[in-house]
Amino acid sequence: MDPAPFEVFYTDFTEIPYANGRKKAYLMPILDHKTKWVTGWAVGEHKNTSLALEALSIAHDNLEEIGIDLEDRFIHHDQDPVYTGYSWLQAVLISEKARISFSENGAKGNTYMESFNGRFKGENGSLFYDARNIWELRRIIDTQINYYNMRRRHSALGYLAPWTYINREVTLPEPVVDLALISS
């Protein structure tokens, strides 16, 4: 059975070459299974707990804006030391009250995330490669994830962009619906 919107999220680090290949950064997106919405992401020079917690915090804030929390929802990832460390587990399990699903087969057990990362880098790799510094790379990634969420069509969503799909197909909590009616 296919999970409902905002029930299962995937994440993993992916390496992004930039500065004409002379430097590398790491991107950690958090992707919703059903809606394909990248709910949070962070980019940094090191693949570490701080970067992971930044992405989780952004996902938390973005979900909170639409009246969703992570309690009892699954976050699926591999067993990278960042994801098995105390700080990440404390943030996900205790603070967010979410559940964790570990991939026992590394990247092979996280195919949705690997597919997203591969496609995202394939579509935007030349833009990333041309970024002169980490700040420019962050700006480019921010722009491209915004495009991915708001405009890029997905066959799995009936050729709708994630936010269009959410607005048409997902029932959001009542306070968010009321806010949308007030602002229109």
Question: Distance between CA 103 and CA 61 in Å, rounded?
Answer: 26
pLDDT digit string, tens, across residues 149-159: 999 999 999 99
Helix axes 162-169, 134-150, angle to 10 degrees: 40
State the alpha helices, DSSP H only, in the chain: 49-65, 81-84, 86-89, 111-130, 134-150, 162-169, 174-183
Tell me the HSE value of 37 on the side-chain side, using a 13 A CA sphere.
22
The owner of tokens 């587990």 is 89
The total of structural domains in the chain comes to 1
Predicted pLDDT of residue 178: 45
How many of the other CB atoms lie within 10 Å of CB of 33? Answer: 20
Residue 41 within a domain:
yes
Residue 2 within a domain:
no
Residue 3 within a domain:
no
pLDDT digit string, tens, across residues 3-19: 999 999 999 999 999 99
Residue 85 within a domain:
yes
Label the pairing between strands 8-11 and 38-44: unpaired
Select the more confidently predicted residue: 180 or 81.
81
Is the overall model pTM greater than 0.85, yes or no? yes
Residue 1 within a domain:
no
Tell me which residue range forms the domain holding 131. Answer: 8-183
Arithmetic mean of pLDDT over the chain: 91
CATH of the domain at 57: 3.30.420.10
When pLDDT is cut at 50, 70 and 90, the band that residue 176 belongs to is low
Q: Which residues of 80-107 are buried (b: 16+ CB within 10 A; e: fewer)?
A: bebbeeeebeebbeeebebeeeebeeee
Predicted pLDDT of residue 110: 75
Q: Which residues make beta-bridge pairs with 31?
A: 10, 38
Residue 117 tokens read as 């990362």
Predicted pLDDT of residue 175: 58
Residue 63 within a domain:
yes
Label the pairing between strands 99-102 and 74-77: parallel
